[in-house]
Structure 1
Amino acid sequence: MKVSEIMVTDVASLTAEDTVSRALTLMVNRSIHQVPVVDGNGAYSGMIFAKQFLASSAQPTSKLKSFVTNTSSLSPDDEVEHAAKMILGTGNRALPVVHNDKLAGILSETDIAQTADFGHAIVDEVMSGAIVIEEDTSLADAVSKMRRYNISRLPVINTVGVLRGILSILDAASIIAMPMDRASKSAGISGARSKVKGDVKVKDIMRRAVAVERGTKLNDLSEHFKKNEELVVVGDSRPMGVVTPKDALELVLPKKGEPAIHMAHLENEEESRRVEGEIARFVKKIQGRIRDVQNVVVYADKHKTRKYSLRCRLITGKGVINAHAVGYDPISAVKELIRKLDRQVKAEHTQKVNKRKQRGTGRRV
Structure 2
Amino acid sequence: MSDKDSSIITKYVSVDGNKPLSKVVSMFKEKTREILVFEENDVFLGYLTKRYVTHQSKIQPDAKVSSLIKQVPTVQKDSAPDVIARAILSEKIFSVPVVENGKVIGVIRDIDLLRDSEDIFGSKKVKEAMTKQPIVVTSDTSVAKFIATCRTNNISRTPVVNESNELVGIMSPHDTTDLILSKSPKKLDMLSTAVKELMTQEVVTCTENDFLIETLVKLDSADHKALIVVDKENHPVGIITTTDLLETVSMPPETEGYYFRVLGDVDDSDMEPVIDMGVEVVKKYADIIGTSGQLFIHAKAIPKRKFRGEILYQVRVRISTNKGKTYVSRSDGYGVFGALAVALDRIEREIVSERELEIQRGQTGSERYILEEIEEL
Please give the TM-score of this superposition, normalised by the length of structure 2. Answer: 0.85
What is the CA-CA distance between 1:13 and the residue it aligns to? 1.3
Q: How many Å separate the matches in 2 of 1:6 and 1:56? A: 39
Alignment of 1:57-68 (within 5 A): 57-68=58-69
Q: What number of residue pairs does the alignment pair up?
A: 353
* Match for residue 162 of structure 1 among 166, 188, 194: 166
Structure-1 residue corresponding to 2:205: 211
Q: How many Å separate the matches in 1 of 2:319 and 2:248? A: 11
Structure-2 residue corresponding to 1:17: 18
Structure-2 residue corresponding to 1:223: 217
Indicate if the aligned counterparts of 2:76 and 2:99 stay in contact, CA closer than 8 A: yes
What is the CA-CA distance between 1:39 and the residue it aligns to? 2.2
Q: How many Å separate the matches in 2 of 1:274 and 1:209? A: 41
Q: How many Å separate the matches in 1 of 2:179 and 2:2? A: 39
- Which structure exhibits the higher relative contact order, with contacts defined as CA atoms closer than 8 Å and separated by 6 or more residues? 1
* Match for residue 348 of structure 2 among 337, 342, 353: 342
Q: How has the CA–CA distance of structure 1 residues 348 and 133 changed in structure 2, closer, same or farther, with 3 Å as cutoff?
A: closer
Give per-residue Cα distances to partners, 1:90-123, cap 9 Å, x unaligned: 3333222122222111223222223323112222
Q: How many Å separate the matches in 2 of 1:336 and 1:176? A: 33
Give per-residue Cα distances to partners, 1:232-273, cap 9 Å, x unaligned: 111111111211111122222325111010111134212222
* Match for residue 252 of structure 1 among 249, 254, 272: 249
User: Partner letter of residue 41 of structure 1?
Assistant: N
Q: How many Å separate the matches in 2 of 1:261 and 1:284? A: 13
Structure-2 residue corresponding to 1:262: 261
* Match for residue 239 of structure 1 among 227, 236, 241: 236
What is the CA-CA distance between 1:358 and the residue it aligns to? 5.8
User: Partner letter of residue 345 of structure 2?
Assistant: R
Structure-2 residue corresponding to 1:186: none
Q: Percent identity?
A: 23
Give per-residue Cα distances to partners, 1:111-163, cap 9 Å, x unaligned: 22233231122222222232212222222222222112111112111222111
**Residue 39 of structure 2 is aligned to residue 39 of structure 1:** yes
Q: How many Å separate the matches in 2 of 1:267 and 1:23? A: 32
Alignment of 1:60-209 (within 5 A): 60-115=61-116, 116-117=118-119, 118-128=121-131, 129-176=133-180, 179=182, 193-194=187-188, 196-198=190-192, 200-207=193-200, 208-209=202-203
Q: How many Å separate the matches in 2 of 1:338 and 1:98? A: 38
What is the CA-CA distance between 1:338 and the residue it aligns to? 2.5
Q: Which secondary structure does the structure 2 equivalent of 1:297 belong to?
A: strand
Structure-2 residue corresponding to 1:311: 316
Q: How has the CA–CA distance of structure 1 residues 246 and 350 changed in structure 2, closer, same or farther, with 3 Å as cutoff?
A: same
Indicate if the aligned counterparts of 2:153 and 2:314 stay in contact, CA closer than 8 A: no
Give per-residue Cα distances to partners, 1:185-237, cap 9 Å, x unaligned: xxxxxx78435224x33122211211222211111122112211111111111
Question: Gaps (5+ residues) in structure 1?
Answer: 184-190
Q: How many Å separate the matches in 2 of 1:66 and 1:52? A: 12
Indicate if the aligned counterparts of 1:167 and 1:205 stay in contact, CA closer than 8 A: yes
Alignment of 1:262-281 (within 5 A): 262-281=261-280
Q: How many Å separate the matches in 2 of 1:143 and 1:350? A: 38
What is the CA-CA distance between 1:356 and the residue it aligns to? 5.3
Q: How many Å separate the matches in 2 of 1:274 and 1:48? A: 34
Structure-2 residue corresponding to 1:188: none
Q: How many Å separate the matches in 2 of 1:158 and 1:348? A: 30
What is the CA-CA distance between 1:49 and the residue it aligns to? 2.3
Q: Which secondary structure does the structure 2 equivalent of 1:17 belong to?
A: coil
User: Partner letter of residue 260 of structure 1?
Assistant: Y
Q: How many Å separate the matches in 2 of 1:325 and 1:138? A: 24
User: Partner letter of residue 322 of structure 1?
Assistant: V
Indicate if the aligned counterparts of 2:81 and 2:249 stay in contact, CA closer than 8 A: no
Q: Which secondary structure does the structure 2 equivalent of 1:107 belong to?
A: strand
